[in-house]
Structure 1
Amino acid sequence: MNRRTTALSAAVALTAALVLTGCSSADADAPALKVSGAFMPQPVMDMAGGFLTITNGGDVADKLTSVTSGLSDDVTMHETKNQKMQEVKAFDIPANGELKLERGGNHIMFMELKKQPKQGEKVSIELHFEKSGPIKVDLPVEAPNHNPKQH
């Protein structure tokens, strides 16, 4: 009986050690992404912009590789350099850093909208990453001239 108790105690301790080790090493080797400040200005044509901040609290960098949405079959990512917009394949999200998609800078573009979302509605999108799993986000539709940097 004493041997059985000792063996059982050893098995429980080993299992607990493996679980704790697995959790800590998985967390250290993965990005920890969080989305905030998401919005879409109400479109005035058949295209729209999307803006948000992705914060990476992990020690590993990641990349935003694509965005999908039921609002448009043509969703692209653009960077703005020297007041010129150009499409990019991915945005870097640094370890312990953030990616800001904002008016006048890097952003998401929705082309050939299937419908015109109105202020007060929400547009669902899914963000896809190189390392992390997809994240679903609802973009609140704001006034056409909405800009949080000016508030």
Structure 2
Amino acid sequence: MKLAPFVLLALLGNPAVAHDYSVGELHIDHPWSRALPPTAPNGAAYFVVHNKGTAGDRLLGASTPLAATAELHTHVHLGDVMKMQKVDSVGVPANGEARFEPSSNHVMLFGLKQPLVAGERFPLTLEFEKAGKVEVEVAIEAEAPKAEHHH
């Protein structure tokens, strides 16, 4: 029995938890959503898009069978008030990243057709201007994942 690859995987991170997707030069890291009570009409999805290419790209939109509509939103500060604002697209800079996280950019899911239950997953299709469409699986988590911050 060769255990080396599994040991390596265990050292690099739990394969059951870490999940990422690639399309073209883009790499989508750990899509997740917060579990919500069944009465919640709307939800949100978060992830990080890493661009390994030399050209920038843009996220144009998202869709999921789980919700009636999915929109790109960001948070803007108007004085002391933080408001959510719909955006038409989010840029992913060359050799950079676009972070979708609480109190920042996120994908809003309006008109949820089923509750967001912790431990379950749902498909989310992301559409990029250049890279095209990629379907990711969004993990529904009871609380925000402990992000490893690379500074």
Partner of 1:122: 121
Partner of 1:42: 35
2:70 pairs, out of 61, 65, 75, with 75
Q: Which runs of 5+ in 2 are unaligned?
A: 1-23
Structure 1 or 2: more strand by fraction: 2
Larger Rg: 1
Structure 1 or 2: more helix by fraction: 1
Q: Which runs of 5+ in 1 are unaligned?
A: 1-30
Secondary structure of residue in 2 paired with 1:46:
coil
Instruction: Tell me by how many angstroms 1:150 deviates.
Output: 9.5
- If the length of structure 2 is used for normalisation, what is the TM-score? 0.75
Partner of 2:54: 59
Q: Which amino acid aligns with 1:49?
A: A
Relative to structure 1, the CA distance from residue 150 to residue 96 in structure 2 (aligned partners, 3 Å threshold; closer, same or farther) is closer
Instruction: Tell me by how many angstroms 1:123 deviates.
Output: 1.1
The count of residues paired between Structure 1 and Structure 2 equals 121
Cα RMSD after superposing both structures: 1.9
| Deviations 1:37-56, CA, capped at 9 Å, x for gaps | 21000123111110000000
Distance 2:83 2:91 in 1: 19
Question: Are 1:103 and 1:147, in contact at CA under 8 Å, matched by a contact in 2?
Answer: no
Percent identity among equivalent residues? 28
